[in-house]
Amino acid sequence: MNVLVIGGGGREHAIVHGLSRSLRVTRVFCAPGNAGTAELAENVAIDVGDHAALVALAKERKIDLTIVGPEAPLCAGIVDRFQAEGLRIFGPTAAAARIEGDKAYAKKLMKHAHVPTAEARIFNRFADAKAYVATRDTGVVVKAAGLAAGKGVVVCPDPADAILALERMMVQEEFGGAGATVVVEEVLKGQELSVHAFIDDRTIYVLESAQDHKAIGEGDTGPNTGGMGAYSPAPIATPEVYAAVERDVLVPIVDALRSDGAPYRGVLYVGLMLTAGGPKVLEFNCRFGDPETQVLLTRLDTDLLDVLDAVVDGRLDQIDLRWKPKAAVCVVVASKGYPGRYESGKVIEGLQEAAGMPDVFVFHSGTKRVEHLTVTNGGRVVAVTALGDDIADAQQRAYRAVEQIRFENAYYRRDIADKALRSSVRAEA
């Protein structure tokens, strides 16, 4: 089969890597791809937003299955476009992807389906939002309702900070139209957990657990990013937690989407907070998480193409997901200044040395080739992922590999997966 992966980040490199190991795959194409995907696939310089060109590419290269990585083309209706052309594609329709693309819609849907989540108010006028926040004596979370590349969520311990965040989103339009409507919700306390599930409208298949680190700074401090690292499995994801998530979150939300005329088919990512009152939904994403994809797919022992095919064809109930008896840890190496301003074009060294280490995978996030050199081309540059006998072993392997990678102004957190190690110690005690 010829397959096409749409996107150019670490998530897409991990997907390309997984597909390249399938005996059923003839050729892999990636649009636009990066320096890492170029080693496993044929990169095609087409922007993810150019749906007409992507459809033409799929027809020209006789693509048997297309996999969409990022949320923006999904929310913009690329699946609908491909399906209208008779092309097979993995991902939800625009109506179903709205669960990520419109946080206000997602909140209303959760309330209707009785899915546990933070109490929230929705505003489309700055004056109304400001007046509401001014009455609060505790902190809130301010969320841009639209897509903001993972940066549209601001946790504000002080209501005064929330007013500033609202002004940035609604008045200064820092996130463009994504901040025209905002969600203001209570701050939930607990640990975050990422749960992914394959869904083919009626069958739900929950994947192994993962936990990511969104904050830029060690100790989970500073502004949120697209993700600075992840690990799998997550010790806090007990069987009881998973049972509650499936029963109270996944089943009712999939039913609610179907009832709303938006049957879901693809992968659904649930960001959760494990509170004292049980798991509560922070957000839904209509695609694989990044960097969770890197740790999940390196642990997956089932042919990835078989799984994606089954979802598209509506026969997920015939698939058996097998997992390697290993743990995985991913450490993201970023450009200093991210998630704010940063410089690109820095020469990267040590990639081959790191990738040559046992059970280590270097997934490119923001890179490109300039002649014979690989240079930085984004805020998150590479996501170094390692397998190990347990989290501690995987963490050590990942950081030994990270130390091999060098470029000017490289930055990475040094505490990725420490939370898992502390959880394991408490469990043993």
Q: Based on the fold, state whether residues 39 and 148 are members of the same structural domain.
A: no
> Which residue, 318, 345, 375, sits at the end of a domain?
318
pLDDT band at 429 (very low <50, low <70, confident <90, very high): very low
Place of tokens 């936990």: 211
Residues 6+ apart with CB under 8 A from 239: none
Omega within 30 of 0 (cis) for the link into 339 = yes
Tell me phi and psi for residue 365, to 5 degrees.
Answer: -110, -55
> Which residue, 318, 350, 369, sits at the end of a domain?
318
Using an 8 Å Cβ cutoff, are 159 and 134 in contact? yes
Residue 307 DSSP SS3: helix
Give the model confidence (pLDDT) of 199-225 as tens digits: 998 899 999 999 999 999 999 999 888
* Tally of domains within the chain: 4
The CATH number of the domain holding residue 149 is 3.30.1490.20
The CATH number of the domain holding residue 253 is 3.30.470.20
> Which residue, 289, 318, 347, sits at the end of a domain?
318
Q: Is there a domain that residue 236 lies in?
A: yes
pLDDT over 90 at 422, yes or no: no
Q: Name the DSSP letter for residue 34.
A: -
Residue 335: its pLDDT value, please?
97
Mean pLDDT of the chain: 95
Q: Based on the fold, state whether residues 301 and 242 are members of the same structural domain.
A: yes
pTM for this structure? Answer: 0.94
Q: Based on the fold, state whether residues 148 and 215 are members of the same structural domain.
A: no
Nearest to 34 by CA among 16, 58, 49: 16
Query: Residues in the chain, how many?
Result: 429
Residue 150: its pLDDT value, please?
72
- The interaxial angle of helices 94-101 and 103-113, nearest 10 deg, is 100
Q: Based on the fold, state whether residues 267 and 362 are members of the same structural domain.
A: no
The CATH number of the domain holding residue 413 is 3.90.600.10
Q: Is there a domain that residue 104 lies in?
A: no
Give the model confidence (pLDDT) of 36-61 as tens digits: 999 999 999 999 999 999 999 999 99
Partners of 7 in beta bridges: 32
Q: Flag the least confident range among 134-143, 252-261, 354-363.
A: 134-143
pLDDT band at 126 (very low <50, low <70, confident <90, very high): very high
Q: Based on the fold, state whether residues 261 and 352 are members of the same structural domain.
A: no
Residue 425: its pLDDT value, please?
52
For the record, the structure tokens of 24 come out as 């059923």
pLDDT band at 137 (very low <50, low <70, confident <90, very high): confident
Q: Is there a domain that residue 250 lies in?
A: yes
C-alpha of 15 from chain center? 12
Q: Is there a domain that residue 376 lies in?
A: yes
pLDDT over 80 at 300, yes or no: yes
For the record, the structure tokens of 6 come out as 């749409």
Tell me phi and psi for residue 294, to 5 degrees.
Answer: -60, -40
DSSP states along 116-127? -B--EEEESSHH
The CATH number of the domain holding residue 15 is 3.40.50.20
Domain that holds residue 397: 327-428
Residue 308: its pLDDT value, please?
98
Q: Based on the fold, state whether residues 89 and 155 are members of the same structural domain.
A: no
Q: Based on the fold, state whether residues 199 and 279 are members of the same structural domain.
A: yes
> Average of pLDDT values for 269-288?
95
Q: Based on the fold, state whether residues 359 and 388 are members of the same structural domain.
A: yes
Nearest to 315 by CA among 304, 325, 307: 307
Residue 424: its pLDDT value, please?
59
Q: Based on the fold, state whether residues 199 and 285 are members of the same structural domain.
A: yes
Q: Based on the fold, state whether residues 422 and 380 are members of the same structural domain.
A: yes
Q: Please state, for a pLDDT cut of 70, what percent of the chain lies above it.
A: 99
Q: Based on the fold, state whether residues 180 and 196 are members of the same structural domain.
A: no
**How many angstroms separate the CA atoms of 392 and 388, rounded?**
8
Q: Based on the fold, state whether residues 249 and 306 are members of the same structural domain.
A: yes
Give the model confidence (pLDDT) of 360-408 as tens digits: 999 999 999 999 999 999 999 999 999 999 999 999 999 999 999 999 9
Q: Is there a domain that residue 180 lies in?
A: yes
Give the model confidence (pLDDT) of 144-175 as tens digits: 999 987 778 889 999 999 999 999 999 999 99
